[in-house]
Structure 1
Amino acid sequence: MITIGLSTWTRHPHLIHDEQRDVLFSEYAGVFPLVELDTSFYGVPSVKTVTNWRNQAPDGFQYILKAHQVMTRHDDAKSEQVSDDERWQTFNQFRRAVVPLVKAGMLATVLFQFPPYFTRNLDHIRYLRDVRVHMGDLPVAVEFRDPSWYEGSLSKDVFDYLTSLNMTYVIADEPNDGNRGVPFTPVVTTPTAAYFRFHGQNRRGWLDHQGDWRKDRTNYRYSDDELARLGEAVKTVSQQVDQTYVIFNNNGHRDAAANAESLRDQLGLTFNGLGPTQLDLF
């Protein structure tokens, strides 16, 4: 099964006839059955918040939550790093927080999007095993952002290692020049799930880091031809797994929703169990 969604539900005016306001969850859930949330990267949500996410969603809706930044070692670039005890406590807090989604069958996976300075070395390889230990049996997906993980024949060892840890490799589409960014590598590491993240191909915004680059880097609208190419990869991979998640993150200029609907239509997908949508009577 292929499921398509977007990063966050609020910033997609395409879904509400280009009205300049936040999209309501009910409006989003009437179109897509999956959403990726990054609020959990900045702060571990409370059980109450996660319970509200569960209660607002229709049956069958799926959430992808980003792991907290302490869990992905973003603090490694800071002058003061957290202690191991603090790090493992954050894992425990996160695991407790997501219980309502787990019990409802609404947690698709937890996304560990590692920073570019999480390079392939022995310490980081060992840390991946620590992640599995501290996440228990929760679903985990790993996104690398440094090309060292893809160098030469050792990349197969990396994918095999993820398989041994029951971690889903995130197949990212983004600009890369061999030194920055990662190549599009449609590899399956778990039989239960595959996970695509489409960031766009804004090379200047992604690689140059000038101006408001964090926003500019995802300013990109995929063409129909590009979507057809990506769609073929999605179909091929989906034949190897139970569930394929596709997230559009190319939303700097609010293009993600339109591209996601286009891919849905190209693939001939129909999503069942969506929330009710308001009728446009005028």
Structure 2
Amino acid sequence: MIQVGLTGWGDHPDVYSPTSKKNEKLMDYSAHFPIVELDASFYAIQPERNIRKWIDETPDDFQFIVKAYQGMTGHQRGKLPYSTPEEMFQQFKLSVDPMRLAGKLAMILVQFPPWFDCIKENVDQIRYIRTQLEGYDVAIEFRHQSWYAPSMQEKTLSFLKELNFIHTVCDEPQSGVGSVPLVAETTRSDKVFVRLHGRNVNGWRNTTGDNEAWRKVRYLYNYEDNELDEIRQAVHKLENEAENIYVIFNNNSGGHAAENAKRFQKMMGIDFQALAPKQLDFFEEE
């Protein structure tokens, strides 16, 4: 089964009903897509009340891909707001467990930063994360090219398979060592994750030091049909290797993600069922 969705539900005006209120965005979103990547969890471990609210606002079959908290992946600047790493992981698990128990947790996404390269220390860190998240479906995303170097790619995939991690297949700008190639390979027979960041080569790296301005352009990209066809071919390959393929469009900066996802869905001939009843035909031709 192929599931298609977007990163977050708060930044996609094309999917909102004109009469909807601000707090109804997730309900509108779930009328169009069966999965979403929850990115708020990267910036702060979410309180239980938020998690339960999101569970209640979505259809029974709706799935969340929860992005791991930045302190768990090495992105955190400064001191962690937890006394120990173990406490941090425990709080994160307590946060996501209501989704897990409700059958709505597709996976946890552990995305490492561009400076997380293929060295023994980082391999040990991945093993540590596996022990802390034992029993959870966890997807690993690398941002440093060394993990996919010709001499390392097969070892990387075998390592992920050994630890029962889901491989994250990325489409992103090819801009030096801080980007990875599209490697359409699976490490588990049940799940694989495809994450599409766009191909904005000029905006991928922060060359100005202005983090706020950079975030606005990094994922500014509108996929062309021929580029989506490349993704379609990769997904078809993965379809022969994994039971469930989760495809997330993360090219949010210019508002292109929803339209690109709908175009890709049409290209794949996918018709999602059991969506929320508020669905409107915003993307249908007149």
Task: Tell me, in whole angstroms, the C-alpha distance in 2 between the residues paired with 1:18 and 1:199.
Answer: 28
Task: Tell me by how many angstroms 1:28 deviates.
Answer: 0.6
Q: 1:61 to 1:142 in 2, by over 3 A?
A: same
The equivalent residue for 1:38 is: 39
**TM-align CA RMSD:** 2.1
Aligned pair count reads 277
The equivalent residue for 2:278 is: 277
Q: Equivalences for 1:74-113 in 2 at 5 Å?
A: 74-75=75-76, 78=77, 80-82=78-80, 86-113=84-111
Task: Tell me, in whole angstroms, the C-alpha distance in 1 between the residues paired with 2:63 and 2:118.
Answer: 31
Task: Tell me, in whole angstroms, the C-alpha distance in 1 between the residues paired with 2:161 and 2:122.
Answer: 16
Aligned counterpart for 2:172 among listed residues 171, 174, 180: 174
Q: Equivalences for 1:46-85 in 2 at 5 Å?
A: 46-75=47-76, 78=77, 80-82=78-80
Q: Is the 8 A contact 2:48 2:95 kept in 1?
A: yes
Runs of 4+ more than 6 Å apart: 17-21
Q: Equivalences for 1:203-242 in 2 at 5 Å?
A: 203-207=201-205, 209-210=207-208, 212-242=213-243
CA shift digits 1:101-134 (9 cap, x unpaired): 1111100000111111111111110111111110
Task: Tell me by how many angstroms 1:172 deviates.
Answer: 0.8
Q: Equivalences for 1:181-196 in 2 at 5 Å?
A: 181-196=179-194
The amino acid across from 1:121 in the alignment is: I
Task: Tell me, in whole angstroms, the C-alpha distance in 1 between the residues paired with 2:143 and 2:230.
Answer: 22
Task: Tell me by how many angstroms 1:178 deviates.
Answer: 3.9
The equivalent residue for 1:198 is: 196
Task: Tell me, in whole angstroms, the C-alpha distance in 2 between the residues paired with 1:56 and 1:269.
Answer: 24
Q: Is the 8 A contact 2:203 2:218 kept in 1?
A: yes
User: Normalization by structure 1: what TM-score?
Assistant: 0.92
Q: Equivalences for 1:3-18 in 2 at 5 Å?
A: 3-16=3-16
The equivalent residue for 2:284 is: none
Task: Tell me by how many angstroms 1:238 deviates.
Answer: 1.7
CA shift digits 1:207-258 (9 cap, x unpaired): 3534512120111000111111111111110221111000000111000000
The equivalent residue for 2:158 is: 160
Task: Tell me by how many angstroms 1:17 deviates.
Answer: 7.4
Q: Identity of aligned pairs, percent?
A: 36
Task: Tell me by how many angstroms 1:85 deviates.
Answer: 5.7
CA shift digits 1:252-282 (9 cap, x unpaired): 10000000000000000011110012668xx
The equivalent residue for 2:123 is: 125
Q: Equivalences for 1:11-30 in 2 at 5 Å?
A: 11-16=11-16, 24-30=25-31
In structure 2, list runs of 5 or more residues that go unmatched. 282-286
